[in-house]
């Protein structure tokens, strides 16, 4: 029964299949049996990670595990020596801080399923044992018969038994903006798309018009809504590119550290014997602390938080911090059509009468624009037939155009509203015309009639040509309206030609051409009347109409989207359209915006359904437009793109988009039109529902990633220098001594690294940030020379520090004062060297003197503050005692400053060398001698 295609069977057969009675419904006994069999009509949640599990998972990071081991050994050694384990306490504090930061990022309760549950109606009218009862939605079972009317929320999937002028809004499930007309009597093919199953209603949708009697066919997790919930829970969160790269970095640092520790300890024992083991172990602990950038997680978190603030200013609200950097790695943007690429406002783009055709300019609902023929503007009211068609647009209409808070808005049907806007562009105002031409009768639109007409009392007006006391004005489907026309208005309503086959074919050809361009087409006709028609006989009133023409409407693209798509192309990002709308509409818009090319393939959901996953993975490489897609199709498309190693951003606003939003590397929900379900499943919310804002956010993401690489280069370059200095000190000095204690190293890694690194995090973007393709999402953090730079600069750091260490050791032994003050000189020099490195590392090519200090004033502030803090550790007694430093003389401090400038000079000289090398290897332009 669960596999039954209910849209393929007659209503009577569906009743027989579910053993239900149309007049009586189910008995109480049958309801109880089915409730036991099918369970409650509710979305079921599967368990996720507990908060304790999330917290414990933070301690599985290899760098934190290594630090914990270092803290334990350090604590034991300190206690054996009868000292306070300051180093161990400090390390444990850092480990705990990093764990808390990770926990806060991950412990965001997943609310998407809760939002899905809220779509279920709390109560529903049900026919049971011949009586209409109101029962909780959760109590519904297959075979129940429910009654629906306008305003009701559908509580379960069902087959229509009876429908009267029924329309349902299914945009949450299918993505289609227009309400769907439902019919009980039709039977459909098995491969009919979800949006085309007009004899079914679905849980979570809303009835906007009419009434119905519905046989419940599926409940709970078997409904379309339940299938979406099941897909949502089946999507496993993938690590972001940044998280993968940080994992690579952790593994490389820990492995390198362990190898170096092994070399130092084994080499030292071989050279000096087991009596030096404890001193060598102390050296190893300092090396292990030095190699781990303890402040890096905090700096990255703050950097991503700064990125979120910048993105909010560009209308993108980030819900999960890692998404900030992931945006910079995006290679494919899968976008919905309605409201994201388009304005979600129907706009008339062309008007066609028997005497000619005109393009109409203007955007949105503002009644401002021109009627253009061959690029020349015309006065529409000087064309008699066109003027009468525009009058028809105003009077045969129930929508109202009005200005709200300085913006034009439509009250009523958007399609009807666009006709009022069209007339307004010609200078016809709705309110005076409706007062002047009083409505005397009306024949409303219905799904069966597919047309609407009104009879108005004619008034004298020089702008319109007709000679009768009353006027019938009609609009509707061109094919339907043509059947009621026997003449064509050539010059005016009084100057007509018979509706012969030639005229009819011309009208239908124009209709097909406009529909092929993705437009919705409405036809217009009129008829002079001598008396008010009978309100109960629309066919009599609408006979012998005179054809006036037609208009082509479209949900116009947002004006800024074309430029945004162009920027995507320049940035090497591929835009893809995935929509529930008609293929012709989708293809026409995609070609117009530059997403697709003329003649390019567009896949429909039915075609996609028949593809295997390998076939789809091959197709997604070339197809840029998908139409009439179901929720599982969107999910499959995203998964296929990810199999091709693409970093996918997926937009959506409906319940149907939630699984794909969660699966995508970046799920982007619409802030204005989006459902709560889509927002909770997303990583980012577009505050203005605008595709251009995605491109702007992508630019910010690229800037964030560039800055993360910049401060990683800064931090790890100095860390490698620290490790080399510590590792070589026992081999180069006459005693086994460590120039830096773990506590001093933590100070360097957290403070003297941290503040300048945060300043580098707000470095402004490079000029060409969106003129290059995205970097390979699979690339290592060490790619594009970063690893070589860190090793190279680390070695230079180490050489400079060792030179100072050797001089300072001899100096301290031969001059009055504490002989251990050489350690403070090495500590101070390393900290001050990082300040010069921070200034130099701002750019890979430009010299520091070529860059404006005001483009990033935070770097100067960070350098100044950090230098003062370092001097405080040397000259403020309480801090000096805690960190184990010694006061330096002015001469010794001057030597530290002198050595610390060498790293800045080296990096600047490297830039000059690279420039010279690039100039010498630049291709020589060939000149033609004339």
- Two structure tokens written together for 365: 């609902």
Q: From CA 542, how far away is CA 476, in angstroms rounded? A: 12
- A 10 A CB-CB count for 263 gives 12
Q: From CA 826, how far away is CA 900, in angstroms rounded? A: 10
**Four-residue CA torsion sign, 368, 372, 376, 378:** negative
User: What secondary structure, in 3-state letters, does 460-472 show?
Assistant: CCCCCCCCCCEEE
- Two structure tokens written together for 51: 């908060």
Which residues belong to the active site?
336
Question: In what order do the strands lie in the sheet containing 625-627?
Answer: 316-318, 684-686, 666-670, 648-652, 332-335, 574-578, 625-627, 602-604
CB within 8 A of 414, min separation 6: which ones? 345, 346, 399
DSSP state of 736: -
- Two structure tokens written together for 704: 């964030």
Query: Could you give the count of Cα atoms lying within 13 Å of 632 in the half-sphere of its Cβ?
Result: 15
Strand partners of residue 459: none
Q: From CA 521, how far away is CA 300, in angstroms rounded? A: 54
DSSP states along 796-864:
HHHHHHHHHHHHHHHHHHHSSS-TTHHHHHHHHHHHHHHHHHHHHTT-SSS-GGGS-TTSSHHHHHHHH
**Four-residue CA torsion sign, 616, 617, 622, 625:** positive
CB within 8 A of 756, min separation 6: which ones? 711, 714, 834, 835, 838, 859, 862, 863, 866
Q: Phi, psi (5° rounding) for residue 897?
A: -65, -40
DSSP state of 778: T
With beta carbons less than 8 A apart as the criterion, state whether 330 and 647 touch.
yes
Pairing between β-strand 684-686 and β-strand 666-670 as defined by DSSP bridges: parallel
- Two structure tokens written together for 667: 């799920």
Q: From CA 241, how far away is CA 322, in angstroms rounded? A: 9
User: 């000095």: which residue's tokens?
Assistant: 733
Largest CA distance in the chain: 123
* Helix or strand run (H / E) with residue 528: strand 520-529
With beta carbons less than 8 A apart as the criterion, state whether 605 and 631 touch.
no
Q: What is the phi-psi region of residue 647: left when phi exceeds 0, alpha when psi lies from -120 to 50, beta otherwise?
A: beta
With beta carbons less than 8 A apart as the criterion, state whether 453 and 472 touch.
yes
Strand partners of residue 410: 401
CA dist 479 → 351, 397, 485, 486, 504 (Å): 17, 20, 10, 13, 9
Count helices and strands in the chain by DSSP H and E runs: 33, 28
User: What secondary structure, in 3-state letters, does 867-928 show?
Assistant: HHHHHHHHHCHHHHHHHCCCCCCHHHHHHHHHHHHHHHHHHHHHHHHHHHHHHHCCCCCCCC
């Amino acid at each position: 029964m669960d596999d039954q295609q209910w849209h393929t069977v007659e209503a009577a057969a569906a009743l027989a299949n579910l053993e239900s009675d149309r007049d009586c419904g189910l008995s109480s006994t049958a309801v109880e049996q089915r409730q036991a069999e099918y369970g409650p009509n509710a979305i079921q949640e599967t368990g996720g990670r507990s908060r304790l599990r999330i917290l414990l998972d933070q301690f599985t990071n290899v760098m934190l595990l290594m630090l914990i081991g270092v803290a334990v050994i350090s604590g034991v050694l300190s206690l054996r020596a009868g000292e306070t384990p300051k180093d161990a306490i400090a390390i444990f504090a850092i480990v705990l801080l990093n764990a808390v930061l990770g926990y806060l990022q991950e412990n965001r309760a997943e609310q998407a399923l809760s939002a899905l549950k809220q779509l279920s109606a709390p109560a529903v009218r049900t026919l049971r044992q011949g009586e209409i009862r109101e029962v909780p939605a959760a109590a519904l079972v297959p075979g129940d018969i429910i009654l629906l009317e306008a305003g009701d929320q559908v509580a379960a999937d069902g087959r229509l038994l009876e429908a009267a002028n029924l329309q349902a809004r299914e945009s949450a499930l299918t993505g289609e903006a227009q309400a769907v007309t439902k019919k009980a009597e039709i039977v459909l093919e098995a491969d009919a798309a979800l949006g085309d199953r007009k004899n079914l209603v679905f849980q979570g949708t809303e009835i906007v018009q009419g009434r119905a009697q519905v046989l419940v066919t599926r409940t709970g997790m078997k409904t379309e809504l339940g299938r979406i919930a099941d897909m949502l829970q089946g999507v496993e969160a993938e690590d972001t590119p940044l998280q993968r790269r940080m994992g690579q970095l952790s593994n490389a640092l820990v492995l390198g550290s362990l190898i170096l520790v092994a070399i130092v300890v084994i080499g030292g024992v071989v050279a000096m014997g087991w009596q030096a083991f404890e001193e060598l172990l102390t050296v190893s602990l300092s090396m292990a602390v030095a190699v781990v950038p303890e402040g890096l997680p905090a700096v990255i978190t703050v950097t991503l938080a700064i990125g979120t603030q910048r993105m909010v200013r560009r209308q993108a609200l980030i819900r999960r911090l890692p998404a900030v950097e992931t945006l910079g790695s995006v290679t494919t943007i899968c976008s919905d059509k309605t409201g994201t690429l388009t304005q979600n406002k129907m706009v008339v783009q062309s008007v066609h009468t028997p005497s000619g055709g005109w393009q109409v300019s203007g955007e949105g609902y503002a009644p401002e624009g021109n009627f253009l023929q061959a690029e020349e503007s015309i006065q529409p009211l000087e064309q008699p037939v066109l003027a009468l068609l525009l009058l028809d647009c105003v009077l045969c209409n129930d929508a109202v155009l009005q200005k709200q808070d300085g913006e034009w808005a439509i009250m009523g049907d958007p399609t009807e509203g666009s006709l009022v806007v069209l007339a307004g562009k010609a200078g016809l105002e709705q309110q005076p015309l409706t007062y002047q031409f009083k409505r005397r009768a009306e024949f409303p639109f219905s799904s069966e009639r597919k047309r609407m007409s009104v009879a108005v009392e004619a008034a004298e007006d020089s702008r319109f040509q007709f000679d009768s006391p009353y006027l019938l004005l009609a609009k509707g489907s061109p094919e339907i309206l043509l059947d009621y026309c026997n003449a064509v208005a050539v010059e005016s309503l009084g100057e007509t030609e018979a509706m012969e086959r030639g005229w009819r074919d011309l009208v239908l050809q124009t209709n097909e051409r406009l529909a092929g361009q993705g437009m919705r087409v409405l036809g217009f006709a009129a008829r002079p009347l001598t008396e008010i028609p009978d309100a109960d006989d629309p066919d009599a009133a609408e006979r012998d109409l005179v054809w006036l023409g037609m208009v082509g409407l479209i949900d116009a693209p947002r004006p800024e989207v074309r430029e945004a798509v162009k920027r995507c192309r320049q940035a090497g990002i591929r835009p893809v359209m995935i929509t529930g709308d008609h293929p012709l509409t989708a293809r026409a818009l995609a070609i117009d915006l530059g997403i697709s090319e003329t003649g390019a393939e567009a896949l429909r959901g039915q075609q996609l359904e028949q593809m295997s996953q390998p076939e789809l993975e091959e197709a997604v490489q070339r197809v840029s437009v998908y139409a009439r897609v179901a929720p599982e199709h969107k999910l499959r498309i995203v998964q296929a793109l990810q199999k091709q190693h693409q970093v996918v951003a997926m937009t959506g606003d409906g319940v149907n988009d939630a699984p794909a939003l969660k699966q995508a590397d970046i799920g982007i929900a619409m802030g204005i039109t989006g459902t709560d379900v889509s927002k909770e499943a997303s990583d980012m919310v577009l505050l203005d529902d605008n595709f251009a804002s995605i491109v702007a956010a992508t630019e910010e993401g690229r800037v964030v990633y560039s800055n993360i690489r910049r401060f990683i280069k800064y931090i790890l370059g100095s860390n490698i220098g620290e490790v080399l200095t510590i590792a070589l000190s026992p081999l180069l000095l006459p005693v086994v001594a460590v120039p830096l204690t773990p506590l001093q190293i933590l100070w360097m890694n957290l403070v003297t690294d941290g503040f300048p690194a945060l300043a580098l995090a707000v470095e402004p973007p490079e000029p060409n940030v969106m003129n290059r393709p995205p970097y390979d999402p699979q690339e290592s953090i060490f790619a594009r020379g970063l690893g070589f730079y860190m090793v190279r600069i680390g070695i230079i750091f180490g050489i400079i520090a060792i030179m100072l260490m050797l001089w300072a050791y001899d100096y301290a032994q031969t001059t009055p004062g504490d002989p251990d003050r050489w350690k403070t000189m090495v500590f101070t020099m390393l900290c001050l060297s990082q300040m010069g490195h921070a200034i130099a590392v701002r750019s890979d090519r430009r010299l520091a003197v070529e860059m404006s200090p005001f483009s990033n004033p935070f770097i100067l502030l960070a350098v100044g503050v950090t230098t003062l803090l370092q001097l405080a550790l040397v000259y403020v007694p309480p801090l000096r005692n805690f960190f184990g430093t010694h006061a330096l003389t002015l001469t010794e401090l001057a030597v530290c400053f002198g050595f610390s400038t060498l790293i800045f000079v080296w990096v600047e000289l490297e830039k000059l060398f690279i420039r010279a090398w690039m100039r010498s290897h630049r291709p020589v332009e060939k000149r033609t001698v004339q």
